[in-house]
Structure 1
């Protein structure tokens, strides 16, 4: 699970904390960090189904649920195929991550490849599921430092 790093202000006195501080420079209180967190560089992939509100309005609820399950499954498969994983399902979107639990030098490259594969498979997915019109997906990719913990 991805978590925030340390607090930006002291939980005891409210004084702003410098980056990397382990103790508050004003009152000396220890700075709390998420339990069992580790700083890592990861690459995040965010895949969003375009026009899902209109699609939901045009399908009955059970059918829409099937389409969303198919979309989530397809995105998860593409992430897994390149050693990423689906970290969270957020309505009509999937948040995937590369570099957790183990980072690799090519995490960003594999994340981009998975994003391209997701976009390429979306049209075929729509046909396979019998969705009226095209299924389109937008994908964003970003690499940066996060705190990883349980």
Structure 2
């Protein structure tokens, strides 16, 4: 999928963090239109009313995570961390299934979302072995920003 294609609904999520709503909607919105598309939010009762209106226009939004505090209808980030087990059953996936979402650099325009499949990372094992000449006991130091794709593929 390229950045201009609609984002699958399962990628829709919202995180309320320090009075900001960060979102990935089931459709890509140009940055210029966000002020008109999204209500201004603050952690107050009026914010909840605005969020309910926002949710009505975003059927892919199923879970809300509140980072600081607790509120009915929201998942507590701290509770999720405390109740999280370090052991889990891995989900079986296919190489052609969607795996990661990155943003383009925005050098020729605004950054766009790009979806990568599970087979995306496997190719970077070849990069490490043949291009970077890495061996089993080598240490590869990746200092890229974690917001970019290089943070993932440099760590394979």
Q: Provide TM-score, normalisation by structure 1.
A: 0.24
Relative to total residues, which structure has the larger strand share, 1 or 2? 1
User: Which is bigger in relative contact order (C-alpha 8 A, separation at least 6)?
Assistant: 1
Which has the larger Rg?
A: 1
Relative to total residues, which structure has the larger helix share, 1 or 2? 1
Q: Provide TM-score, normalisation by structure 2.
A: 0.23
